[in-house]
Amino acid sequence: MLALSRKIASHDLFIYSAPLPSPAPPGLRARRRGRRPGIFGIPPCACVAARIACGRLPAPLLAALFTVLFTVLALAANTRPATAQAVDAVADEALTLPPGVLRLSVSESDTRYSDRYGTGGLQPLGYGLSTDSLGVSQLPILAPLQSSLRALTQDPAFNLTLGAMQVQSSIRVQMTPIGLDIGVARRLTLRAIVPIVQTHDEIFFNPNPGGKTGNVGFNPALAFKNALAIDTGLFGQFTSASASLAAALAACRANPGHAAYCPMLNAQSATASALISQSSSFASQLANVYGGDGHKTGIIVPVDSSAPWTAITRRFHSLAAAFAHFDSLTGGPGVGTQGPVGAPPIGLGDAQALLTTSTLGLGFDSLQSVDYAHLGDIELGATVLILDSFHGSDSARFHPSGFNYRLSASGFYRLGTGGILPADALVGAATGTGANAIEIHAASDLLFGRHFWTSVIVKGTMPMADHISARIPLGLGEAYTPDFADQFVGRTLGRTIVAEIAPRYTFNDYFGLSADYQLIQHSADQYSGIVKLDSAVTGFGPVTLNANTLGAGTASTEHRWGLGLTFSTLASAARHPSRIPFDLTYLHYQTITGSAGIGGFLPKLATDMVQIRLYTRFLGSGGAFGKRPKAQ
C-alpha cells in the first residue's frame, strides 16, 4: 500500500522525541522477542509500575491498575499544601537540572492503530492493499495475457481478475525509551535518549473470498502432466486437422474427380476455407495462453467454469464440430473432445505464491503478521535555560507564589539508527525513520500561584538527505509495485512542526494532573531519481519511474490530546536529602483528527505510557535537591 507502511517514516510520535516506527533500512529482520528483563534497581512502587507497563496488558486494564496504584500511593503519602513545581510531568522541557544532578528515565509506551488518514479520509489500515478486483490495473504485467484472452474469448471488453483481495491490519508499537539527563550548569542540561522498539502488525488476508470473485488462476498444467499434455496438444490437433482439410480442399479444386467427396467439399469450399483460417487463429491464441508451438506453458489461465473458460470451451467445441463434419467426408484426423483444462480458483496459498515469487514479477515478503525489534532513532542534545523567575532556587521552585515563568531552548541531533521497512515488505511497522535530523525545541513553563501551571512547547524537526532502497510506484496509490521498480533513490523527509500546550494542576507535594494538546504539521517528503526501463525488463512495455511519486500525499496535519497523572517525591526529597527523588507518570493520548493527501499515510493512534524518572547527585554532596546556596 503505498506498501502499507511505506509512508510511516514521515511521522513522529514525539514520546520524549522518540519517533514512531516507520519504513526501515535493508537488513531489519522480522522476529519475535521475549519480554526484556529490568535494567535498573528502582523503588518498589516503580518496580510494580514497570512490571505492569511491560506486561502485554490491554490498555483499559493497564489504566485501571495504575489508578489503583496511584490511589495506594496517595493514601501512603503525607498530604501537604500544594506546591506547583514540586510535581514535574511529561513534557516539562523547560526544566534544567541543578549542576551535578543526573536524571535517569525509563518509559514503556504501547501504541495501537488500525485506521489511517489518507486517500478518502479515514480508512482501515489495510485499505490500500484491499481491492474488489486484482487485475491489470494493479498488475500491469498481466496486460499481455488479458489481450490474448480477449482475442481467445472474442470479447474485446473482457477484464481478467485474480479476485478480490481483503486485507485487514492492526499495528501495535511498544517503545522503551531510556533517557539520561545531566545537569552541567544551572542553565545547561545535557540529554540523551535511546529508544528500544518492538512492532507487531497483525494481518488478516483473505484472497478471492469464497473462491468466486476471480476468473483466472494458476494453470494446473504446471503441476499435472496430464493437464500439460492436453493443453499443449490442442495446438497440434488443430494444426493437423487444418492441414488435412486444406490438402483435401486443394486437391479437389485442382481435380474435381480426385475423390468421391470432392463435389460435396467443393460445394462447401468457402466454409472449409473459413474454418481453416479460424482454427489457425484459434490454435495460435490457445498457444499464447496455454502453451504449445514453442510457447512456454502459461502460468495464469481461466478458472474452470468461469465466463472466459466457458467462452473458450464453447468456441473449441464449435470448431471441433465443424472439423468433424468435414472429416466425415475426407477421413481427416479430426479434433478431440477435450478442451483446455480450467484452473482452480485462487486460494490463500496461491495468492501468497503470486506475491512472494517472481511469477508475476512481484517478489514481496509474505502478506502475513510480522514482528520487528530494533533500536529506534537515538537523540543527543542539550537544553539551555534562558529565563527563570526562580533564579535557580529549588526552594522557590517547590514553594511558588504569584506568577512565575521559565523559558528554555533545546537542540537535538537525531541519529537515524531506527530501522525502516525493507523494499519488499507489503506490511509491518518499522522502528524509526532511519534518517539523521536536527531538532530545535522552545519550551516555556508559566506558573499561576501554587496549584496551576502550564507548559507551552514548539518543536521543529529538519531531517537530512539520505539514500534508501525503495520500490517506485508506477502510479499514485499503487500497492503492488513490481520488483523491477526497486531502485536506489534520494530521500529527504519532510519537516515537522509541533505546537504543544500542557496545562497542569498540582494537588499537593506528591500528585499532579496534566492535560496535553498537540498540533503536528508535516510537510511532504521529497524523493529524487528517474529511471527508464524497457520492455525486456518490465515484461509489458517501456516504463519511466519517477521517485517523486513516493512522496505523494505525505504532507499531513494531526491533532492529538492526552491526559496524565504524576506521583512525585521531589519535594519530599528536597526536605529530606537522604530520600531518593523520583516521579512516576501515567499518560494516555490519542489522535483526535487528521488529514493526509492522496496516497498518504497518517495513523490514527492511541497510546498508553508509563514513565519513571530517578534523580541522583553524581557531583558534590547531599541529595539531588538538597539545600544549596542560592544562586547569585
Outline where 387-442 has alpha helix (H).
Answer: 394-398
Distance CA 296, CA 312 (A): 19
pLDDT at 402: 82
In three-state form (DSSP H/G/I as H, E/B as E, the rest C), the secondary structure along 32-50 is CCCCCCCCCCCCHHHHHHH
Q: How far apart are CA 37 and CA 16, in angstroms?
A: 22
pLDDT of res. 72: 43
pLDDT digits (tens, 9 = 90+) for 316-352: 999 999 999 998 888 888 888 889 999 999 999 999 9
92, 180, 69, 565: CA torsion to nearest 10: 10
pLDDT of residue 34: 35
Residue found under cell 495468492: 351
Decide: 81 and 587 in contact? Cβ < 8 Å. no
Give the model's pLDDT for residue 599.
72
The CB density around residue 342, as the number of other CB atoms within 10 Å, is 22
Q: Where are the beta strands (DSSP E) in 72-141?
A: 101-113, 115-118, 121-124
Q: Is residue 177 within 8 Å of 18, Cβ to Cβ?
A: yes
Measured between alpha carbons, how far is 187 from 120 in angstroms, rounded to an integer?
A: 49
Cβ atoms within 10 A of the Cβ of 327, count?
18
pLDDT for 624: 59
pLDDT of residue 622: 57
349 is written with which cell numbers?
Answer: 496459498
Over residues 134-193, the pLDDT tens digits come to 999 999 999 999 999 999 999 999 999 999 999 999 999 999 999 999 999 989 999 999
pLDDT averaged over every residue in the chain:
84
In order, the DSSP letters of 420-442 are PPPTT-SS---SB----EEEEEE
Residues in the chain with pLDDT values less than 70 = 1-91, 392-399, 578, 620-632
User: Half-sphere exposure of 165 toward its Cβ, with a 13 Å CA cutoff?
Assistant: 24
Cell numbers for 82: 500544594
User: Can you give the pLDDT at residue 413?
Assistant: 98
Nearest in space to 526 (alpha carbons), one of 401, 435, 419: 435
